[in-house]
A and B are shown apart, each in its own frame.
Chain A
Amino acid sequence: MRALLRTAALLLFVSVGAYGQVASPAESAATVIRVAAPRDSVLEARTSAVASQLRCPVCQGLSIQDSPSELAQSMRAVVRDQLASGKSPDEVNAYFVSKYGEWILLAPRPRGFNLIAYLLPVLVVLSGGIGIFVAVRRWTRGTTEIPAE
């Protein structure tokens, strides 16, 4: 019984740790594109990573990495050129935000009010988990410990 409760608690903590994982944009399960064409694959990978975070203005929720539209391709070229000229991903994002507004970022910047979107589900799952822990405790009170055999 204890073992399972421990496992459950472990699972919960792992989940929280997983949320807090500061993953680089490429790692946070954005589609990892490995391009077969003979271009500079490092630059391509970096472009894809940044492009996956930017919204295509003329599509429905697609990133400029995924969108086949012309504007998205032009924006990707801008991303590539800026990265090639030495700008950091943050600077590229800042450029697009200065032109299109915060809306152009596919995930809201985790600061200020936006944190609610990130924290609320975690808090709910955590408190739910604690609630289950407490409830299971209460509901198993009075029963004997499980035999070791």
Chain B
Amino acid sequence: MNGLVGHGALLVSLPFLALGILLMPAAVRRGKQDWVAVAYGSVYANFLLVSAAVIAMIVALVTHDFSVSYVAQVGSRATPLFYTVISLWGALEGSILFWAWVLALYSILVVSTNRDRPGTLVPYAAMVLLLVSLFFAILLVGPANPFHVVFPVPPDGPGPNPLLQNHILMGVHPPLLYLGYVGMSVPFAFAVGALLSGEAESNDWIRLTRNWTVLTWGLLSAAIIAGMWWSYEVLGWGGYWAWDPVENASFLPWLTATAFLHSAMVQERRSMLRLWNINLVVGTFVLTILGTFLTRSGIISSVHAFTTGTIGYYFLGFIALVLVSTLVLVAGTSDKLRTTGHLDSAASRETVFLLNNLFLTGFMLTVLVGTLFPLVAEAVRGVKVSVGTPFFNRMSLPMIVALLFLMGVGPALPWKSASRAELRARLLPPISGAVVLLVVALVIGVHNFYGVLAFTFVGYSATANLREFWIGTRARRLAHGEAWPTAFVRLVLGNRRRHGGYIAHLGIFLVALGITASSSLRTESEATLTPGQTITVSGHTLRLKQVWGREEQQRSVVGATMEELDGSGRVTGTMEPHMNFYPLSQQPVPTPDVHSGPLGDLYLNLMAVKPDGSNATIKAIYEPLVPWIWFGGGVIVFGAVIGAWPGRRRVVAVASAPLVARPAKDNAA
């Protein structure tokens, strides 16, 4: 029943989508507003149908309906309810269904908030969204069908991948990722819509999607940080980023989206970089699809790689279609988009944003080249090579520190131009912050070149950003006589985008410090202990109390209880790293225990246990400042939310092309 409802709903969505896609250009060309409304209707219909499919799937999962193929693949009666529900996105087909639903949701939000705008931009944007939805619908009724009928119905299933049942962040990271990823379809749809409707020279498409892009960017940032946190807490090696292709897949669109956030401002103010922005937005969308393709098709080996199969060819076909059609469209209409404006001065925020874009794009290309290079090398040389952490770190660190520095220069410089005295007054004071953090770095023991540089630049830039808050608040106090807190809040709310951006910058600085400190200052030690023996790392002593085992609903657990001892030998806490054994998996899943403090984490991993329980091998790692990464992530999201918060509605003259494109051909309705 569930399978029937789900599959049926998705099948029915196909003609609705096709109707909307075919109807829209006809409606636009003939100026028929009611046809446009019908086409919008198919957006709503699609949402209802995909929602029905999702509900059917969730019901099937929760009721353990193993006649549905996806449930038979990832479901199990032993799995707790929380993990059962979130296994919706745990494997390939379910995750595609979830993607389709988020896209449908975004589509109705876009249509409902923008449909009253006169002109052809919104109709074409909706059409593009429908086209993307159509692709996913085809996948869902074809190669990625989660609703196949399984007969005879098995009594039970294998349950989700053990790694996906180990931590509640599994319920957080994928939805955030999809919300962010799929969200990039919206600026893309508007950019293409702008090209199709001839409105690409105006800044409307950016204006309309501005808040949307900031919020989506914030969600994607949160998703990446959540993914890092999940990896850190679950995988047991004490790291949070391995430059795995799937991690890179989420990072690539984030880089171009960040670049776009900045260059969009240049376009809005100076009407420049219009072609560049279109390319950035299209590139971001292509990267989201590319990322999905890389990890879903099995083309590159990755932690997230799902099964290989025909689905790779479908994705490739879609990528080819999107790439070729957008290249054709952009290249064909780019004549009108040449920059006609001019800059007042090179010493301006505009220039800094150009450099920001340069390094972010360079960073993106580095990661892209590194991710694809094994494939290229095999195609050209026939030899398999690896491209891993040493390559990525070495190639990207210069750009990262350059960006850290620019993040301090940008906020300090005004738009348009600055006199030499102004430059001095704005760019010199943060140097004090740089010196402070330089000293701090050297004192705490960061001695490698890039670590010291990172600290120094963060010091500079954080001071510059904070100074902006201080200067602005002080100015408000002088002008309005407000108290400090009131002035501060009013300042932020008065220009949410700018101050949200500064807050996000501060979040990035926290993340940068966390990453730098934990890579440079990490200490670890490993020992095999019998009960009563201790292991020490970075001043922390832990004693093995006992080795134990227990049965849980869906797994067996073997663990070690470790007691934390203070200087005088008193027990200050306990930690329990353990290993989870799942019935259908050969290898146990190690689950480290992490004790977080404001300055660092004590990280324990159980490496091995003697079968009779007489000893346990423990790896103890001290990771300085890692909690700053997660906290910084929260600050980034907070900044994005503030930046995206809608302000007072401004009445702007809309550069609208009339719905009637060619009056001469207008037939009577």
Contact = CB atoms under 8 A, between A and B. Distances in A.
Interface of A: 1-5, 8, 11, 14-15, 18-19, 21, 23, 25, 27-37, 52-53, 55, 60-63, 66-68, 101-108, 113-114, 116-118, 120-121, 124-125, 128-129, 132, 135-137, 139-143, 146-149
Given A3-B347, A68-B605, A140-B346, A33 B448 contact: no
Contacts of B175: none
Given A18-B398, A121-B365, A107 B381 contact: no
A1 B345 CA distance: 6
Contacts of B354: 132, 135-136
A102 B347 contact: no
15 contacts: A1-B347, A3-B347, A3-B420, A14-B398, A28-B393, A34-B522, A36-B538, A68-B607, A101-B383, A103-B386, A117-B369, A121-B395, A135-B354, A137-B346, A140-B344
B358 interface: yes
A149 B362 CA distance: 36
Contacts of A8: 351, 355
B382 to A, nearest CB: 11
Contacts of A101: 383-384
Interface string B244-283: 1000000000000000000000000000100000000000
A73 to B, nearest CB: 8
A137 B346 CA distance: 8
A66 B450 CA distance: 21
Nearest to A136: B346
B359 A125 contact: yes
A60 B386 CA distance: 11
B391 A117 contact: yes
A126 to B, nearest CB: 9
Contacts of A60: 242, 244, 301-303
B242 A61 contact: yes
Interface string B521-546: 01111110000000011100000000
A125 B239 contact: no
A15 B363 CA distance: 12
B346 A125 contact: no
B526 to A, nearest CB: 7
Contact of B244 (A31, A37, A61): A61
B388 A61 contact: yes
B391 A107 contact: yes
Contacts of A25: 390
B522 A31 contact: yes
A102 B389 contact: no
Contacts of B237: 62, 66-68
Given A23-B394, A106-B391, 6 more contacts: A4-B351, A15-B398, A37-B527, A121-B366, A141-B342, A142-B342
Interface residues of B, number: 77
B243 interface: yes
Contacts of B373: 108, 114, 116-117
Nearest to A36: B525
A125 B519 CA distance: 26
Contacts of B419: 146-149
Contacts of A142: 342
Contacts of B389: 30, 52, 61, 63, 106
B520 interface: yes
B358 A139 contact: no
Contacts of B343: 136, 139-140, 143
A121 B635 CA distance: 31
Interface string B182-213: 00000000000000000000000000000000
B449 interface: yes
A36 B242 contact: no
A78 B417 CA distance: 61
Nearest to B406: A11
A148 B421 CA distance: 7
Contact of B386 (A15, A37, A104, A120): A104
B523 A33 contact: yes
Contacts of B387: 106-108, 117
A61 B359 CA distance: 26
A83 to B, nearest CB: 18
Contacts of A66: 237-239, 242
Nearest to A20: B398
A29 B538 CA distance: 21
B332 interface: no
A146 B347 CA distance: 9
B390 A30 contact: yes
Contacts of B361: 124, 128
Contact of B390 (A53, A103, A129, A146): A53
Contact of B394 (A28, A104, A136): A28
A61 B247 CA distance: 11
A9 B385 CA distance: 35
Contacts of B421: 148-149
A77 B373 CA distance: 30
Contact of B423 (A4, A18, A31, A63): A4
A129 B358 contact: yes
A147 B420 contact: yes
7 closest residue pairs by CB, A with B: A106-B388, A18-B398, A125-B362, A107-B391, A107-B390, A121-B366, A4-B347
B218 interface: no
A21 to B, nearest CB: 7
A38 to B, nearest CB: 9
B527 A108 contact: no
Contacts of A121: 362, 365-366, 369, 395
Given A15-B398, A149-B419, A29 B519 contact: yes
Contacts of A120: 365, 369
Nearest to B384: A103
Contacts of A146: 345, 347, 417-420
Given A32-B520, A101-B384, A139 B370 contact: no
A1 B346 contact: yes
A114 B385 CA distance: 9
A108 to B, nearest CB: 5
Contacts of A62: 237, 242
B99 interface: no
B523 A36 contact: yes
Contact of B346 (A5, A18, A36): A5
A125 to B, nearest CB: 4
A33 B243 CA distance: 19
